[in-house]
Structure 1
């Protein structure tokens, strides 16, 4: 919970089946891709390399197949394009929330599974079979991707365009989360959070969902917040309810013996109060 990548509200996905460097910012990539990654980083856009599950061919880079996603509004979108080179993709349009001229809007979500072995072996060991399994159920919607953040949570699943992160996914859990997202909903189990907002606010959204049972992707958002030391107070819109949520950090050490299992910060619920009365029926137990 509350561990989705904070600085990821704009996304650039570049299809590349060749070898991935451990860090994209090193720009150890074919010239066209390296330049596109550099331009994205300069504009605060999150670049990711992607490839179809199971493919490891080393092909010469000609046209660039890209996906862009904009999650900085209440109505996120994503678009697909094929460009000859970096100059043909208007990343400034993406920053402005406008679909680049070289791209066409997508009407289906995309699912990313981190399989970046050079960054962390666990991501490949656990992520590769999950990506292949998920792709069998959702052909053409699933991609392997480079590092998304949170190696300790492998296997990681990202649902775009909203930037919903899940971690520690099994094949069954990933399929359930993907199907829920396709229906416009989230599942709280293994939900890491929504990318692009500070971690305390991700935690506030999570606690608001858990309290109300609200599963709709777009129905929950932080409207305002303030911090006093380590304590964060947020006003969360949850459907037609406004909820005051107060959280504070809490240390946690995962029960894992790998190098990626250092103590991490999660969040504890201090208080939660509804600000407007509303009739609510507690969901029946499964």
Structure 2
């Protein structure tokens, strides 16, 4: 069987093409299940232990994003129960929790969707980094993602996992930072280390930053342009307050660095050098308007 992928023509997967505003919109709640594989092209087709299959199906049914995970380079079966992690990227303070359960009935996914930590899991303070290495989905994800996962795991042992498809094969290698759901694409090893270090310090790096999952793509673009304009890199330092769309054009009001901005963005399409292997075209966004609405206010000095 020939796997989908490309021969890495110039500009493909190198970070030369824009990746902004491409994080997976539907990934708001997460279920990570350790399963060493093999992984079929799609989760629905994977031959999974019955308990893992039940968890994946339940997650899909209620809008939770399921991901199969495994330690970089490890293919040994999991013993002693089902190792799971759950995350809420939509909370005011996103969180990540972990547990080992005897079976699917021991994990309350409805609680996760309600924003509550399931009783079978314990909150963890350290972030998790997912690198897509799903070869049967796209060969490039494994060809670039596998060495990236292994090198990042040497720097951050126990925090890095290989994972199944996260969305966006054309942006391989893909890195996802949880619990906030930050997506990076076209990652080199140096770029991945820089992104992970920034996230552990509560910041993003704009280099190869795809956006934050769970947010519509035009709003990811609006946040990106405000970050680029203001230099605000803290994870929670930029947020869309309101938005409206008129055809393909989106107007958003965005808070960043203590200032409000009116941002107008439009989609644009670029030809991908991969041709039809990974993607024939790449859709990104261009900035139409960025207006500062409120000036920076300084405290009035007290005269004595």
The TM-score normalised by the length of structure 1 is 0.95
Q: CA deviation at 1:56?
A: 1.9
Counterpart check, 1:105 vs 2:129: no
Distance 2:201 2:93 in 1: 15
Q: CA deviation at 1:74?
A: 2.3
SS of residue paired to 2:141: helix
Whether the 8 Å contact between 2:39 and 2:46 is mirrored in structure 1 is no
Select which of 67, 81, 85 maps to 1:48: 67
Counterpart check, 1:93 vs 2:103: no
SS of residue paired to 1:269: strand
Distance 2:138 2:208 in 1: 20
The structure with higher relative contact order (CA 8 Å, sep 6+) is 2
Select which of 3, 8, 13 maps to 2:32: 13
Distance 1:244 1:143 in 2: 38
Show CA shifts across 1:44-69 (max 9, x none): 00000000000123x26651000000
Distance 1:85 1:27 in 2: 18
Q: CA deviation at 1:26?
A: 3.2
- Report the counterpart of residue 30 of structure 1 in structure 2: 49
Whether the 8 Å contact between 2:35 and 2:78 is mirrored in structure 1 is no
Structure 1 unaligned blocks of 5 or more: 281-286
Whether the 8 Å contact between 2:96 and 2:123 is mirrored in structure 1 is yes
SS of residue paired to 1:47: strand
Distance 2:248 2:276 in 1: 29
Select which of 240, 245, 261 maps to 2:258: 240
Whether the 8 Å contact between 1:27 and 1:37 is mirrored in structure 2 is no
- Once structures 1 and 2 are overlaid, which stretch shifts more, 97-106 or 60-69? 60-69
- Report the counterpart of residue 202 of structure 2 in structure 1: 184
Distance 2:78 2:167 in 1: 28
SS of residue paired to 1:237: strand
Distance 2:266 2:67 in 1: 31
Q: How many residues align?
A: 279
- Report matched runs for 1:49-88 at 5 Å: 49-57=68-76, 59=77, 63-88=81-106
- Report the counterpart of residue 136 of structure 1 in structure 2: 154
Whether the 8 Å contact between 1:74 and 1:218 is mirrored in structure 2 is no
- Report the counterpart of residue 150 of structure 1 in structure 2: 168
SS of residue paired to 1:68: strand
SS of residue paired to 1:218: coil
Show CA shifts across 1:15-56 (max 9, x none): 011311211133532211110000001110000000000012
Distance 1:189 1:279 in 2: 30
Structure 2 unaligned blocks of 5 or more: 1-19, 299-304
Q: CA deviation at 1:89?
A: 0.1
Taking a change above 3 Å as real, the CA distance of residues 60 and 276 of structure 1, as seen in their structure-2 partners, is closer
Runs of 4 or more above 4 Å deviation: none
Distance 2:257 2:126 in 1: 24
Q: CA deviation at 1:254?
A: 2.4
Counterpart check, 1:114 vs 2:132: yes
Q: CA deviation at 1:212?
A: 0.4
- Once structures 1 and 2 are overlaid, which stretch shifts more, 18-27 or 196-205? 18-27
Distance 1:62 1:232 in 2: 50
The TM-score normalised by the length of structure 2 is 0.89
Distance 2:234 2:205 in 1: 9
- Report matched runs for 1:127-276 at 5 Å: 127-257=145-275, 259-276=277-294
SS of residue paired to 2:236: helix
